[in-house]
Structure 1
C-alpha cells in the first residue's frame, strides 16, 4: 500500500483568510487566556511587520500597528478539518483525520483512476490552492512514516521500504512524531537524528521511556500495523460565514456566497452526490433569520451553476435588517447523474449548458415561470401534454410513438384558427379523432397533413360531416 499525507500547517488561519475580502491585509490569530493573549498564527503580511508566533499581543501592538486580529476557535478549525476530509474522500475511500492538521489518504487503489503519483499530486495541489489552504504533501509506504516525513519535507515520494527508512533516518528527533518531552530527552542525550535513536538498544529505550516510544518506532519503520479511524462523509452540509460588519446590500454578500457554493460543490464531489434543494440563512441582530430557499429541477453540483442560482434568489430576497452572517444548509443530497454531453462542442466559448440556462431562467423569472412538458394519454391534441417537472435522464431508449402520433406537428397553436387562402393540397389519409364526451370537451375531427401554396407543411382539420374550409392547428418544421 501507499499513503499520502496532506499536512495543513496553517489550517485555522487559512479558514479565516478564505472568508476575508482582502486576505493580503495583515492579520493575526490570537489565543490564550485573558491575562496573557499571544499570537497563535500570522499571515505573511503580518510577519512582514515583524510579528512572530508566540509573541504577546501587547508586545505586538507596541511593535506594529495596522494589523487586524481574530480569535482562534478550535471548533472552527475542526470544522475545516472535516470539510477537507470530505473533499479528499473523492480521491480515496480511506481518509483519516486522526492526526491534527493533517489528512492521511490511501492512494494505491486510486492511482489507476487518477494516473501516476506526480499527476495525482499535481491535481491535489491545484484543488487545495483553489480552496485556499496551504499544504505540504508527502507519499510513503505507511501512514505513520508519511505523517512524520511531512514535518520536514514537501513533495517527497518514497515507494520502497529502504528509501523510506533512509529518509526517516535523516529526520531530526523533534520532527519524528515523538512527544515533546521524549524529543527533549533524546536531545539531552546527544541524539539529533532518528537514525541515532534507532541505533540504541531496544531494551535500554524500554527502560528509560514509555512503551509508546517503541511502538511509534515500529510504526515508523512499518514493522507493525497501524489502526486508523476512517472518515465517513455526513448526509448534511452546513457552512457559516460571519461577516465583520453589517451588510445591507445583496452585492456585498456575493463574495461569501461564492465561497459557500464552491465549498458545497467540493463537498458534493467528495461524496459523489448532488443537491436539489438548499437554503441560505441570513442572520440579523435581534431578529429572526431570513431564509432564502433555493430549488433546482434536477440534482446538480457545478459550483458556477449553484452560485448563479443562489445569486438570483438572493437578489430577489427582502431583508428586514442588515445581515451579520450567512449560512448555507443542504439537507437533501440525492444521487447525481451527469447529464449527457456531446463529444465535440461547436461553439463552447458562446454556448451555455441547457441545465445552467434552465436554472438561471428559473432564478431570474421565478420557479413558476419555467416548466417542463410531459406527454399525457389523450387523443385530443389540446390534452396530449401537461406542464410538469423537467424530464430526468433515462438510461433506456424511449418507447416508439404510435404511427398516428408520429404525424403530429412540433408546433401546436394555442387555439385552432380558420385557414385562409386557396385550398391546401392534402397529403395522405385523414386521421379521425373522436373523444372527450365524458368531460364536456367533445371533438369530432378529421386531421390532414397539408401543403400550402407558400410551401409550408401544416396540420389542418375539418369537423366530421362539415363542408367548406379547414382549420389550422399546427405547423411542421
Structure 2
C-alpha cells in the first residue's frame, strides 16, 4: 500500500477562534464600552516582537493591509484598525480541539503546533470506500468549526505539509502529479533554514525540482546531513517518525474572548459553546459527570471559579445550561471577563434509567434533577432531607441531612400512632382531656446520659383536637404533639 498523508494548515487560527467566541450582536447589545471589537472594522493579529501583521480579517484585506506589513503602515491604511497580540497558546488549544473532533473519523493524527495537523490516511481509505469518501467525511467534521484552512495530500509528511502551506488545496493519490507539484515549489517555502536556501541559490538551485534532480551522494558531499535527511523524508525514501495524538481522558477547554464581558447574562453565549463541546466529549464516550467547573478570568483581578453540580449526573448541554443560569444569578463580577475555561470533575459511565412500563408519568424532572435545580438556585446548604435514626426518643428519631444523591429517597416507615406535628418543646398539660389510647412506654437513652422514661397516650380535648401526651416519671403530664 502506497503511503499517503494529508496536511491541514490553519493560517488564521487565533483570529478564527476569537471571532467564533462571540457574535457581534451580543457585543453591541450588552456590553457597551467593553465590547470594543467590531467585526466590520479591520482587525489584525500582530507579532509582539517584530510588530508585523501575522493574521488579518477580510476588512483589513480590503483596506490594503497584507501579511508581514508593519504596524505603522497598516495603521496608516485604516484609521479604525484594531490590533490584538499574537498568542500561540490560543492556537495550540484550538488545534487540540480540532484534532479531538477529527478523531471521530480518522485515527492517526499528528500535531504540528501551533497551526497544523498531519493525518496518515492510506490506512483509512478502505473504510470510507476510497479517497473521495474519506475526504467527504473529514470535511464534514471540519465544517463544524468556523476556521480557514489549506489542505493537500502527499506521499510523505513533508510533501503534504509543503503543498498545504502553499495552498494547493487538492487531494490526490496520483504520485506523478504529487511529485510535479512538489517540484515546482520554491525552496523558500520548504522547511529548510534561510542560510541553506541562500547557499543553494548561489549555485543556481531555486526550486525543489532542481534540488531533487541532484543525487543524494553529491548533496551529502557539498552540504550538511540535515539537507540530505530533509530530501529523503520529502521524497518518502527515508522513514519519518511521528508521534500520534491520543484523545484526552478528561475534558478541559479554554476559550479566549474577542472582547471583554462585564455582565453575567452575556456570559451564557460563550458558556454554551463550551457546554456544547462538553456534550460531544461525554456523548461519544458514553459518560456522565456530576460537576463541571467554570474558571472566569478577570482583568486585573483573581480568576473566579463557578462550580455547577448535578446530583443525577448529566451530559446534555441544555441541562447544564439551565443549572449554570441559576448559578450565574448569584454571581457578581468584580472586573470584565476576557477568557473562560471549562473542566469536569470525575466522570462515570452512563446507564439508562430503569422505569416500569406501566408506571404513570411522573413529570419531566427526576428526583435528582429537582435536587440539582434547587441547589443551583438556593445553594447546597439550603437543601436538606429528613433521615430516620434508630432511636425511639421523639426528639431524636429524625434529623436533617444533605440529600441522598445515589438514588431517590426510600419511603419513611414511621412508627405507628405518631402525630404529624411535634411541639418544639413539650408543654405542660393544662386542660381536661379524654384518653383514647395508651399507654405506650418509652424507656431508653441510658447509653448517652440522656435517658427518658415516659408513658405516652393519645387523647382528645374539649375542642376535638387529638393530642399526643405523656406522663413523666414525676407523675406530671405534658403535651408533645398534635395529630392532623
Q: Structure 1-normalised TM-score?
A: 0.64
The equivalent residue for 1:419 is: none
> How far apart are the structure 1 equivalents of 2:206 and 2:130?
35
2:9 maps to: 7
Counterpart of 2:426?
none
**Cα distance in 1, alignment partners of residues 366 and 129 from structure 2:** 31
Larger Rg: 2
TM-score computed with the length of structure 2 as normaliser? 0.63
Trace 1:100-115 onto structure 2 (pairs within 5 A): 100-111=114-125
- After superposition, the Cα gap between the structure-2 partners of 1:370 and 1:121, relative to the gap in structure 1 and judged at 3 Å, is farther
- CA contact 1:3–1:106 (8 Å) conserved in 2: yes
Which residue does 1:235 correspond to in 2?
Answer: 250
1:150 and 2:164 correspond? yes
Match for residue 257 of structure 1? 271
1:244 aligns with 2:259: yes
Provide the C-alpha distance between the structure 2 equivalents of 1:116 and 1:3, rounded to a whole number of angstroms: 14
Residue 77 of structure 2 is aligned to residue 66 of structure 1: no
Q: 1:165 to 1:286 in 2, by over 3 A?
A: closer
Distance 1:300 1:221 in 2: 50
- C-alpha distance in 1 between matches for 2:56 and 2:224: 35
Separation of aligned partners in 1, 2:301 and 2:165: 47
Write out per-residue CA displacement over residues 282-325 of structure 1, whole angstroms, 9 at most, x where no aligned residue. Answer: 344565544321223555544455444433432x3331534424
Q: Is the 8 A contact 2:286 2:350 kept in 1?
A: no
Deviations 1:321-363 (A, max 9, x none): 34424533324252554869xxxxxxxxxxx9999x9888986
Paired position in structure 1 for 2:425: none
Q: Which residue of 2 aligns with 1:139?
A: 153
Distance 1:193 1:366 in 2: 67
Q: CA deviation at 1:29?
A: 1.1
Judged with a 3 Å threshold, the aligned counterparts in structure 2 of structure 1 residues 55 and 170 are, in CA distance, closer, same or farther, namely: closer
Output the CA distance in 2 between the equivalents of 1:275 and 1:37: 44
Q: Secondary structure at the match of 2:99?
A: helix
Aligned-pair distance for 1:115?
6.0
**Residues 293, 244 of structure 1: CA spacing in aligned structure 2 closer, same or farther, 3 A cutoff?**
same
Determine the structure 2 residue equivalent to 1:127.
141
Matched, 1:90 2:104: yes
In structure 2, relative to structure 1, the CA distance for the partners of 1:320 and 1:203 (3 Å cut) is closer
Paired residue for 1:203, among 193, 217, 227?
Answer: 217
Q: Distance in 2 between matches of 1:353 and 1:215?
A: 64
1:24 equivalent among 25, 36, 39 = 39
Structure 2: which 5+ residue stretches go unaligned? 25-37, 354-363, 385-402, 409-413, 415-484
Note closer, same or farther for the CA distance 1:153–1:303 as it changes in structure 2 (3 Å cut).
farther
| Distance verdict in 2 for CA 1:326–1:155, change over 3 Å | closer
- Correspondence 1:427-438 to 2 at 5 A: none
Distance 1:370 1:115 in 2: 57
- Alignment correspondent of 2:94: 80
Structure 1 segments unaligned to the other structure (5+ residues): 341-351, 372-386, 393-413, 415-477
Alignment partner of 1:318 is 2:331: yes
Q: Within 2, Cα distance between the matches of 1:6 and 1:272?
A: 29
3-state secondary structure, aligned to 1:130: coil
After TM superposition, give the deviation of residue 216 of structure 1 in Å. 1.6
The 5 Å alignment of 1:186-197 reads 186-197=200-211
Please give the secondary structure, in 2, of the residue aligned with 1:18.
helix
Superposition deviation, residue 272 in structure 1: 7.2
Distance across 1 between alignment mates of 2:8 and 2:192: 19
Matched residue pairs, number? Answer: 385
Q: Following TM superposition, by how much is the alpha carbon of 1:199 offset from its aligned partner in structure 2, in angstroms? A: 1.2
